[in-house]
Amino acid sequence: MTTAFAWNPSHGSHSEVGHVERPERLEAIRQQLLSSPIWNRLQHTDPLPVDLDAACLVHRRAYLERLQQALQRAPTRLDPDTYVQPESLAVALEAVGALLAITEAVLEGRADNGFAAVRPPGHHATPERAMGFCLLSNVAIAVRWAQQTFGVERIAIVDFDVHHGNGTQEVFYEDPNVLFLSVHQFPHYPGTGRMEEIGEGRGRGATVNVPLPAYTGDDGYLEAFRRLLGPVVRRFRPEVLFVSAGYDAHWRDPLSAMQLTVTGYAKLVYELMEWADACCDNRLVMTLEGGYDTEALAASVTASITRLLDPMADLEDPIGPAPHETTDVRDLIYELRLLHKVA
Ligand SMILES: [Zn+2]
């Protein structure tokens, strides 16, 4: 496979002392990739220049004006969790630009797949507000941009961050052409993502929420991917597959209580590649969301990108197996298969 890689080099100027969403996350990823033999096999890609017009594909002007005003009085907060510094909007736009560069490389056929390692994350930002460490809805902007620039219609988004991707869901809730699938710990922040949330109007059925109990591990995630999400994606037949790749379901993550391992993440990426192969000529665009144990994050991202390059590559798990017994989710997945009419 040819795998494109991009990051947003300005990310370090978006930081707040003591906050978990910190520059060390991306630095750890870069250090691990730089010391790995896969670094030289990646197609390194610069962020595309992006201005506020791109953000307007998803966000309301009034919100972007509020965000710009907040920069004037920065450092400040837009919600209890979400800080801004004077450079934060420029950093967030560069994060979007890195994801658009990967999207372009994949849709122009220069790469089979790709990974945008960016921060701040995006999947909690709604059209009207920042929340949960997120300023701009990176993946939603990239989806709208792909539709506008490349004329693709049908797009699927898989969000495996441990938190529900409420912002992404809100953007596409009534849109039948964008399938949104989220697997997340529930109950947990931000409180949305019940299985009954399946879309509205013409978008009814194009939202799939998998609210997993605490201590779900590799087996439970694979059950959800193989028996529910895979069949739904194949039935939808997207032209490109986007992934909100959060690594905060790793067992060592400080914000959550899931039991995924580094090799578990690589298995999820393998499944995604199978669907992309079956539906959309391998076109798979991954973007970083959460993940707050920097070692587990760096190891999981490196394993994911190793898998993107070679579905058969040998993998190591430097962090090790999950320490807790995992929760059996087979009944939940069965119930969801009935709800979404998966034969
Ligand atoms: Zn998260």
Find the mean pLDDT for residues 8-36.
Answer: 98
- What is the predicted pLDDT for the residue at 48? 98
Reported confidence tier of residue 170, pLDDT bands at 50, 70, 90:
very high
Q: How far is the CA of 249 from the centre of ligand 1 (A)?
A: 8
CA 281 – CA 273 distance, rounded (Å): 10
Contact 25, 299 (CB under 8 A): no
Question: Which one is catalytic: 124, 163, 188, 340?
Answer: 124
Residue 245 has pLDDT above 90, yes or no: yes
Å from CA of 298 to ligand 1 middle: 15
pLDDT surpassing 90 at residue 114: yes
73 CA → ligand 1 middle, Å: 27
308 SS3 class: helix
Q: What percent of the chain has pLDDT over 90?
A: 99
Ligand 1 centre from 65 Cα, in Å? 26
Written as one letter, the residue type at 173 is Y
- H or E element: which one contains 264? helix 262-279
Q: How far is the CA of 248 from the centre of ligand 1 (A)?
A: 6
**Taking residues 211-238, what's their average pLDDT?**
98
Question: Average pLDDT for residues 78-83, to the nearest whole number?
Answer: 95
- 110 CA from centroid of ligand 1 (Å): 30
Residue 52 in contact with residue 136, Cβ under 8 Å? no
- Averaged over 283-292, what is the pLDDT? 98
Average pLDDT, integer, range 168-196: 98
Q: H/E element holding 114?
A: strand 113-117
Q: At what angle are helices 294-309 and 23-34 packed, to 10 degrees?
A: 50
Specify the pTM: 0.98
Name residues whose C-beta falls within 8 Å of residue 279's C-beta, 6 or more positions apart in sequence: 156, 233, 234, 236, 237, 238, 239, 241
**Cα of 246 from ligand 1 centre, angstroms:** 6
CA-nearest of 99, 135, 50, 115 to 272 is: 115
Quote the ligand 1 centre to 98 CA distance (angstroms). 20
Residue 343 has a pLDDT of 82
Q: What is the pLDDT of residue 24?
A: 98
**Which pLDDT tens digit goes with each residue over 304-338?**
999 999 999 999 999 999 999 999 999 999 999 99
DSSP code per residue over 154-222: -EEEEE-SSS--HHHHHHHTT-TTEEEEEEEESS-TTS---TT----GGGTTSEEEEEEPTT-BHHHHH
| All structural domains of the chain | 3-339 (3.40.800.20)
Q: Has 324 been annotated as catalytic?
A: no
The pLDDT tens digits of the residues spanning 119-163 come to 999 999 999 999 999 999 999 999 999 999 999 999 999 999 999
Closest CA to 171 of 137, 215, 210, 222: 137
According to DSSP, the residues that pair with 260 across neighbouring strands are 250
Whether pLDDT at 20 is above 90: yes
Q: pLDDT band at residue 30, thresholds of 50, 70 and 90? A: very high
Instruction: Report the C-alpha gap between 304 and 106 in whole angstroms.
Output: 17
The pLDDT score that the predictor gives to residue 118 is 98
Question: Can you tell me the mean pLDDT for 172-198?
Answer: 98
